[in-house]
Each structure stands twice: as structure tokens, then as C-alpha cells.
Amino acid sequence: MTHNKLSKEFEPEVICPQCSTRVLKIDFDIIGCPLCKNKSEFNKEVPNWELEPME
């Protein structure tokens, strides 16, 4: 499959503020930095599902 290769060229990258690794912004927003496990410093909003009490 080549569509992954193409789409990656258009995805914005961010530099992890903790370890300076280049990470795709979409990955960084979801899972944080894969290298140092730093969570997103760029997205301060808390997702709605984190506000809901667990049952």
C-alpha cells in the first residue's frame, strides 16, 4: 500500500519539547511522543471522555 507514504508527506510534524524527536502531530496529540512518552504540550484541552465518570 502506497497511500500511507503519500499521506505522511502532508501530515504536519511537531518537535517533542522534551526530547526534540520529530513526531507526526496527529500521533503526538493522541499518544504523545513514542520515544520519551511525553504527552502533548500543544493541546491543552481535555477530551470529553476524560471528563465523564467511569462506571
Taking the C-alpha atoms of residue 46 and residue 26, their distance in angstroms, rounded to an integer, is 16
Closest CA to 42 of 20, 19, 17, 21: 17
Q: Model pTM greater than 0.75? A: no
- Note the pLDDT of residue 9: 63
Who's near 11: CB < 8 A, 6+ residues apart?
24, 25, 26
DSSP 3-state of 11: coil
Q: What is the pLDDT of residues 1-55, one digit of tens each?
A: 455 555 556 789 998 888 888 989 888 888 888 888 877 555 455 555 555 555 6
CB 28, CB 14: distance < 8 Å: yes
pLDDT in the model for residue 45: 53
